[in-house]
């Protein structure tokens, strides 16, 4: 088909219309799983056809031989022309197509079949037929896209659009692009780095890190960005989307694993030795409870005084045992996984590595075991900076958050100091969420990198001062944003009162004259 170059606006509108076709058939929080699957199938077919034609023309070989040389193997039952002709049992045909792609491409094992199309009670043949006709409107060949990264941007658009529903269902949050860009600019990944996200979701933080590197000298080798990307995601459907997102952004070699990072980290050199990374970037789920799943699967029970069966909460200090030695600064409480994720990140950083992660404000000042862990991290001089960011940036929650910058290789000037920034007022007010704009990112990163005090905004605080505050990192303890009360001129106030009293007496006298004339 012939078409003008497909723009992002057109693509976003097209994908949104596909969601409208699904409305009423499935829950809106699942829209993206089905849309992404079909988007990837159409994209794979179009790029496959484009590549086969190029190979045939370049090498002068028959189609069958050119198909064998294609980097993506697309079996006959997964061909778009075959699927679009189906009039019944369309969902089953799609499931077979995705399974066939996985069988031919081992790197996609478990990705394509994570979403099931064959349930007719959820998706009728009529709905799927409409959906396939809708997806047949545009070519997704590289030559027909305005930008090579267009499909990846479209992914991020849909992830953002359905973040609310996904969050309500799964307790997960899409990280707004402004927050991601800010962390990347603070930790500054470089060419040849290994970049890792232990809670990678759909992979946005890893992709933004790669984009940053691509703009640096030696950031690209040919058409490839000079970086190695690694991630792990617990949610199966989100992991599948993350894998597809990487492929659509041309990071087919990114190692995105599925599983629980805290209890079963997947990136290892040996069975008990974790892989180390140059940069780690993360937005772990805020204050996740019951985070050590081995202790939560077989809870002891007792009968309370009312005769009701009640589970006995496990003592995490006794039951948590990490064979990788990540929790060396202390065992976090059962109700808050924040410091567990933070310690995992510290453990997988190289000795010259740096990390940036988003944590709720409570991690800055909560006491108990979290306070002990925070104290140990400060004494170990691992915290380079804390940036307080505005509230209501995240979909589904107005909770204020902070960015922690971890550095295992501080400069001499940074030793025994922590940079603290209060950027809570740096945002554009939005209807549903606040937003960090480029101007806010520039203000924050400029102040952070300059390493000079900015009144009521940024301080480089000595650890000794933090120790005097019992290792509490609450930003308001170190940055006073209050405005001084104006001085009161008592003489002026007294004169003003006297003038008002004189005016009042004059008005009373005038009123008395009016009443006398009226005979009252």
pLDDT for res 40: 85
- Return d(Cα 393, Cα 179) in angstroms, integer: 8
Q: Is the pLDDT of residue 63 over 90?
A: yes
Helix H segments across 264-314?
A: 293-296
Residues 6+ apart with CB under 8 A from 299: 311, 312, 313, 314
Q: What is the mean predicted confidence (pLDDT) over 334-347?
A: 97
Least confident residue range of 115-119, 330-334, 352-356: 115-119
pLDDT computed for residue 170 by the predictor: 38
Q: How far apart are CA 281 and CA 227, in angstroms?
A: 14
Burial category of 106 from C-beta neighbours within 10 Å (exposed 0-12, middle 13-18, buried 19 and up): exposed
Q: Who contacts 185 (Cβ-Cβ below 8 Å, separation ≥6)? A: 212, 441, 445
Q: Give the lowest-confidence range in 284-288, 308-312, 352-356, 365-369.
A: 308-312
What is the model's pLDDT at position 235? 87
- Give the residue from 8, 1, 343 showing the smallest Cα distance to 156: 8
Percent of the chain with pLDDT over 90: 58
User: pLDDT value at position 483?
Assistant: 65
Least confident of 205-214, 244-253, 359-368, 458-467: 244-253
User: Model confidence over 438-452: pLDDT tens digits?
Assistant: 999 999 999 999 999
Task: Provide the pLDDT for residue 44.
Answer: 86
CB of 197 within 8 A of CB of 205?
yes
Per the prediction, the chain carries an average pLDDT of 89
Task: Please give the structure tokens belonging to residue 227.
Answer: 């970086």
Calculate mean pLDDT across residues 443-462: 96
Helix axes 438-450, 177-187, angle to 10 degrees: 20
- Give me the pLDDT at residue 314, please: 92
More confident residue, 246 or 336: 336
- pLDDT for 165: 53
Calculate mean pLDDT across residues 119-128. Answer: 90
**Mean pLDDT, residues 389-412:** 88
Given this model, what pLDDT does residue 243 score?
A: 87
pLDDT in tens, 299-340: 888 887 787 888 888 999 999 999 999 999 999 999 999 999
pLDDT digits (tens, 9 = 90+) for 41-59: 998 899 889 989 999 999 9
pLDDT in tens, 137-187: 999 988 898 876 677 677 767 777 775 554 443 335 568 889 999 999 999
Please state the rounded mean pLDDT for residues 478-490: 76
Q: Comparing C-alpha atoms, which of 445, 4, 433 is closest to residue 182?
A: 445
Distance CA 293, CA 262 (A): 9
Neighbours of 388 (CB within 10 A): 23
- Region 9-33: mean pLDDT is 86
pLDDT of residue 174: 67
Percentage of the chain exceeding pLDDT 70 = 95
Confidence of residue 484 (pLDDT cuts 50, 70, 90): low
**Residue 83's pLDDT is what?**
94
Is the pLDDT at 1 greater than 70? The verdict is: no
pLDDT recorded at residue 494: 87
pLDDT at 458: 96
- Mean per-residue pLDDT for 196-224? 93
**Burial (Cβ within 10 Å: 0-12, 13-18, ≥19) of residue 512:** exposed
11: nearest Cα among 150, 128, 129: 150
């Amino acid at each position: 088909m012939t078409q003008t170059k497909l723009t992002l606006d057109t693509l976003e509108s097209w994908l949104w219309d596909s969601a409208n076709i699904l409305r009423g058939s499935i829950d809106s929080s699942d829209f993206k799983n089905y849309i992404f699957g079909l988007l990837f199938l159409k994209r794979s077919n179009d790029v496959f056809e484009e590549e086969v034609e190029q190979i045939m023309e370049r090498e002068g070989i028959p189609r069958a031989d050119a198909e064998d040389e294609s980097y993506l193997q697309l079996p006959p039952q997964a061909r778009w022309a075959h699927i679009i002709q189906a009039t019944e049992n369309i969902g089953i045909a799609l499931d077979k197509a995705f399974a066939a792609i996985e069988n031919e491409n081992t790197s996609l094992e478990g990705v394509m079949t994570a979403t099931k199309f064959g349930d007719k009670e959820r998706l009728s043949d009529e709905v799927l037929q409409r959906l396939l006709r809708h997806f047949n409107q545009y070519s997704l060949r590289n030559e027909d896209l305005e930008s090579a990264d267009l499909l990846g941007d479209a992914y991020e658009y849909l992830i953002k659009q359905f973040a609310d529903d996904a969050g309500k269902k799964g307790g997960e949050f899409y990280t707004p692009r402004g927050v991601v860009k800010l962390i990347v600019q603070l930790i500054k990944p470089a060419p040849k780095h290994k970049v890792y996200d232990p809670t990678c979701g759909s992979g946005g933080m890893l992709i933004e890190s790669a984009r940053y590197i691509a703009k640096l000298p030696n950031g690209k080798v040919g058409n490839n960005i000079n970086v190695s990307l690694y991630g792990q995601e617990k949610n199966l459907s989100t992991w599948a989307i993350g894998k597809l997102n990487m492929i659509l952004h041309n990071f087919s070699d990114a190692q995105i694993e599925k599983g629980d990072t805290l209890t079963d980290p997947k990136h290892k050199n040996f069975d008990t030795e974790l892989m180390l990374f140059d940069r780690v970037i993360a937005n772990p789920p805020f204050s996740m409870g019951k985070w050590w799943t081995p202790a939560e699967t077989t809870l002891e029970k007792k009968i309370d005084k009312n005769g009701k069966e009640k589970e006995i909460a496990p003592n995490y200090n006794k039951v948590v045992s990490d064979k990788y030695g990540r929790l060396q600064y202390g065992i976090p409480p059962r109700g808050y996984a924040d410091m567990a994720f933070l310690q995992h990140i510290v453990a997988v950083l190289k000795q010259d590595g740096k990390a940036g992660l988003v944590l709720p404000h409570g991690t800055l000042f909560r006491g108990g075991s979290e306070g002990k862990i925070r104290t140990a991290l400060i004494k170990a001089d691992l915290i380079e900076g804390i940036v307080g960011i505005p509230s209501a940036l995240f979909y589904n929650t107005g909770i204020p958050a902070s960015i922690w910058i971890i550095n295992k290789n501080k400069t001499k000037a940074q030793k025994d100091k922590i940079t603290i920034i209060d950027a809570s007022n740096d945002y554009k007010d939005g209807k549903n969420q606040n937003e960090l704009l480029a101007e806010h990112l520039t203000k924050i990163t400029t102040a952070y990198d300059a390493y000079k005090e900015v009144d009521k905004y940024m301080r480089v605080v000595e650890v000794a001062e933090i120790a005097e505050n019992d290792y509490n990192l609450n930003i308001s303890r170190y940055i006073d944003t209050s405005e001084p009360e104006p001085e009161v001129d008592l003489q002026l106030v007294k004169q003003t009162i006297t003038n008002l009293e004189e005016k009042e007496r004059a008005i009373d006298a005038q009123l008395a004259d009016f009443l006398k004339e009226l005979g009252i």
